[in-house]
Amino acid sequence: MEKYLLPISIIKREVKNPVTPMDLKLSPKPVDLPLVIINDGKLFEENLIKSGVDREWLVNNLSMRGIDSIEEIYLATIDSTKKLYISRQN
């Protein structure tokens, strides 16, 4: 007796699909991406201004983390709540 392998497709039933915000008539909140303010030791003044902080604020925050110079930083980003994320140079 020969056996045949037939491809099959499985489609979930509509009632098993996850609920989306649109199903609940909700508008998803827009996502604010963080801004890069330092990349490879170079400061991006324009993004610093867009984020609503100044150079003095940045220097003070870096100083609190024991960083004396912008050149010590590989990547620094700031989010819409003014939270600073820092990755140092190796």
DSSP-derived secondary structure for 46-68: HHHHHTT--HHHHHHHHHHTT--
Confidence (pTM): 0.67
Does residue 12 have a pLDDT over 80? Answer: no
Q: Which residues pair with 36 in a beta bridge?
A: 77
Domain at 33-88, CATH class: alpha beta
Q: What are the boundaries of each domain within the chain?
A: 33-88
Mean confidence (pLDDT) of the chain? 89
Model confidence pLDDT, tens digit, residues 37-67: 999 999 999 999 999 999 999 999 999 999 9
CA distance 67 to 72: 7
CB atoms within 10 A of CB 78: 24
